[in-house]
Amino acid sequence: MNSSEWFTEQLPEAGTAFSLKIKQKLHEEQSEFQFLEIYETETFGNLMVIDGCTMVSTRDNFFYHEMISHPALFTHPDPKRVWIIGGGDCGTLREVLKHPSVEQAVQIDIDERVTRLAEIYFPELCESNNDPRADLKFIDGIKWVKEAEPNSVDIIIVDSTDPAGPAVGLFSEAFYRDCFNCLSEHGMVVQQSESALLHMKLIGEIRNAMSNAGLSHLQTLFFPQCLYPSGWWSATIAGKSDLSRFREAESANKPFDTVFYNIDIHKAALAQPEFFKKAFGL
């Protein structure tokens, strides 16, 4: 924060920054794994910051949480078992459990303090934490996947921080190969894949690592996310089988409320920008 009471996240290599006007700092602590801060902002509600990077706000979290979950769940033919690697704020868990077909959703985040702070400062994101289908584990997600049995999960959502610190291994070919080994027949991995405007090299590395691990069916979808660098974010889905179609009728008649996601948004998110198509030969 500067003297004018603005929180600013700078991205020097891209020559950009994002700022929010702050009312007050509500909390800070150094957990075993990272430095956590909670602010009350003037216009975005509460804000969680991890190691200096914006993570989630009250006002705009729905973009990310809905788009990292619903497109994949409506693409899989019958998603019953879902794992969320990371996702300690519990917003993705809430969205996943809106799907009646889901019988079990395991959230695996290495840092329990993220969840405990979310329960206090973002209680709306934690509404499904006590759902009998929810299982919250505070362990190493990379180790969890490596030790998992074959055919034990339908969708793995990697709701991680940027590829730094404890999240580095979640972007590797070795991790995606372990995911492949424990996924069911039509299984898929969903990875938050940063900004196509600022991080094309990283997106290419993610797509190559997924493909080399055997997850050769790829879709990168795009959505706004004000809080993150450039305001334009992406998620990449990698599957064992074809991802070109989704359950449109069920998406159009979804039995739950969303703020952003609907069938038209799903279709629009799959449209590939021209520079993206040229970069990856699509």
- Eight-state DSSP code of residue 76: S
Element of type H or E holding 81: strand 81-86
Residues 148, 187 within the same domain: yes
27's enclosing H/E stretch is: strand 16-30
Question: Tell me, what's the pLDDT at 169?
Answer: 72
Active site residues: 159
Q: Are residues 51 and 68 in the same domain?
A: no
Residues 77 and 153 in one domain: yes
- State whether 109 and 175 are in the same domain: yes
Residue 175: strand, helix, or coil: helix
Give the whole-angstrom CA distance, residue 48 versus residue 246: 33
Q: Which domain holds residue 115?
A: 61-243+261-272
Distance between CA 228 and CA 235 in Å, rounded? 13
**CA atoms of 234 and 220, how far apart (whole Å):** 7
Q: Is the pLDDT of residue 75 over 90?
A: yes
Question: Each residue of 186-232: pLDDT tens digit?
Answer: 999 999 999 999 999 999 999 999 999 999 999 999 999 999 999 99
Report the Cα 129 to chain-centroid distance in Å. Answer: 17
Per-residue pLDDT band at 3 (split at 50, 70, 90): low
- Residue 192: both structure tokens together: 């938050």
Torsion of CA 113, 115, 118, 124, to 10 degrees: -170
What are 15-64's pLDDT values in tens digits? 999 999 999 999 999 999 999 999 999 999 999 999 999 999 999 999 99
**pLDDT tens-digit map of 126-153:** 999 999 999 999 999 999 999 999 999 9
Closest by Cα among 22, 133, 41, 34 to 86: 34
Q: Is 71 helix (H, G, I), strand (E, B) or coil?
A: helix
State the pLDDT at residue 62. Answer: 97
pLDDT tens digits, 76-129: 999 999 999 999 999 999 999 999 999 999 999 999 999 999 999 999 999 999
Q: Are strands 232-239 and 217-224 parallel, antiparallel or unpaired?
A: antiparallel
User: Are residues 225 and 166 part of one domain?
Assistant: yes
Handedness of CA 105, 111, 114, 117 (dihedral sign): positive
Three-state DSSP at 102 gives coil
Token pair of 102 as six digits: 């889901």
Residues 34 and 124 in one domain: no
Residue 229's H or E segment, with its range, is none
pTM above 0.75, yes or no: yes
Shared domain check, 86 and 50: no
- Give how many domains the chain has, as a whole number: 2
pLDDT at residue number 36: 97
